[in-house]
Structure 1
């Protein structure tokens, strides 16, 4: 069938092969059929696209513009076809995922459990780390990180906003007054997070009328694990600034109270990142589709005020 796309593919095959005969061989057709297809295409667009002689071919100026544009069109068509075909094929193989510890532990692991129930031929290799992502290794299929991995070969999709809340247990203030200002926090026991990648201490952030201010507070406990910090805060040992996804359920239950609530703002975002060359891989497509549907469920549960587990709303 001489559809226009078939005619276009014939022209591009000839250009890439360096001759109409070479293009015909690549498409498993005769030279005369390929020549006829190119002539039909030129007739359809109303201008010559190819200069021919007995020894070589060359694109006309119009042909160069046409082939450049149609290569992009064909690439997009192939991408869409690949994406659609993933729905009909049962994914199989190993999917390697690297995630920040908090997101991986409280949200991603339950999602993976459900994904594996639906796709029993899949194996997931989940790696939890708050260190710097090595996107050049090629070992990992999908990364989940706060902030964006800035690399020319990566595609980043924003999943959710992150707000850091300054919290403490009500018991912590039984025998002392509340801080009046942000700088007053310096006289309290502030439990803080240490980045495992460079061992720096997290700077607490607050929004004022005029600016964003950063303060680095420390007390008698530092950790690279936010969950361990939360345990001490809940036990009444001090104040900390932690992601809203971790502390919101405890604020709702009254186990924690929030300080300087008016100074909270969206200061970071969680992104899903994958290599551009792998975006149409069947395994990745199946997991991305499953995750997208799960995030819609999370949004619906949040709107319905469903009780949360770990701030991620993980209803079975």
Structure 2
């Protein structure tokens, strides 16, 4: 029987990833290669098999009937290979190789990336491939070891561990408050200049949540300044642009330096949790175990950035 070649296996991997993610560019990002490399691998696979796997348009890839059949078989093949790899990794015992982590931009920039040097000092044989993006990666399809998200999960294939509350509150610079005064009630916010953030995923402005008694109310203040990035919004607040909503882990360093002042702290709320996720297949993976243990140290209870930002 003819043995499968490396080039053919590469084509199967590229095809399976492109079919699962819906485009060559998305498959290329997940495989850390160029879109043209993905396209050429798929074309060579089609030539060997003598069938068209995709009905291509300028905007998307659609599987042909032959492509759907091969995709199902390819996913089973890759799942079996993944299980084989995880068995070998678990048997090795010591963290080594490459750990793939995906994390949202603000958490990645403020909490994870600054501490990776310390993690690698403990595990010098383990390289970290940190993917910082606000998109939601499919851990299983894209071979991600650990995801860190501001949410939980309803995916039964994934294990979830809550790391810390995602607390949000309102802040302003001392200079702005000196000119405009300090809001003492939630209703006072409408009399101030406000800075808000537009979600890139939906295009919607963020509604500001506040706890009133046992209820959580949300307001959408009139904003004179709208940005699409939480770090940019915090920088605008430091510059005196007005009052704005921010996660405590972003605002805390500015509060510590006296550049931002927490406001209406008694009404702050927890908006979901910062959560670590990994697949069942990686439960015994020493790389994942080491990183999750590191995350538990990185996210103590109570979180230090909450105390700095004003949460008591």
TM-score, normalisation: structure 1: 0.62
Q: Distance in 1 between matches of 2:192 and 2:206?
A: 17
Worse-superposed segment, 267-276 or 188-197: 188-197
Q: How does 1:135-174 map to 2 (within 5 A)?
A: 135-174=139-178
Work out whether 1:126 is the aligned partner of 2:126: no
Q: CA deviation at 1:230?
A: 0.8
> Of 249, 252, 260, which residue of structure 2 is paired with 1:248?
252
Q: Distance in 2 between matches of 1:181 and 1:138?
A: 47
Work out whether 1:226 is the aligned partner of 2:194: no
Q: How does 1:191-206 map to 2 (within 5 A)?
A: 191-206=195-210
Q: Distance in 2 between matches of 1:212 and 1:92?
A: 45
1:274 corresponding residue in structure 2: 278
| Matched residue SS, 1:245 | helix
1:288 corresponding residue in structure 2: 292
| Matched residue SS, 2:159 | strand
Mapped contact 1:131–1:196 kept (Cα < 8 A)? no
Mapped contact 1:96–1:125 kept (Cα < 8 A)? yes
Work out whether 1:105 is the aligned partner of 2:101: no
Worse-superposed segment, 179-188 or 103-112: 179-188
Change (3 A) 1:300 1:209: closer
Mapped contact 2:164–2:303 kept (Cα < 8 A)? no
Q: CA deviation at 1:157?
A: 0.2
| Matched residue SS, 1:130 | coil
1:47 corresponding residue in structure 2: none
Change (3 A) 1:112 1:177: closer
1:264 corresponding residue in structure 2: 268
Size of the aligned set, in residue pairs, is: 222
Change (3 A) 1:180 1:292: closer
Worse-superposed segment, 225-234 or 124-133: 124-133
Change (3 A) 1:236 1:115: same
1:114 corresponding residue in structure 2: 118
Q: CA deviation at 1:235?
A: 1.1
> Of 81, 87, 93, which residue of structure 2 is paired with 1:89?
93
Q: CA deviation at 1:210?
A: 4.8
Worse-superposed segment, 183-192 or 137-146: 183-192
Query: Which consecutive unaligned segments of at least 5 residues does structure 1 have?
Result: 1-81, 312-316
Mapped contact 1:204–1:215 kept (Cα < 8 A)? yes
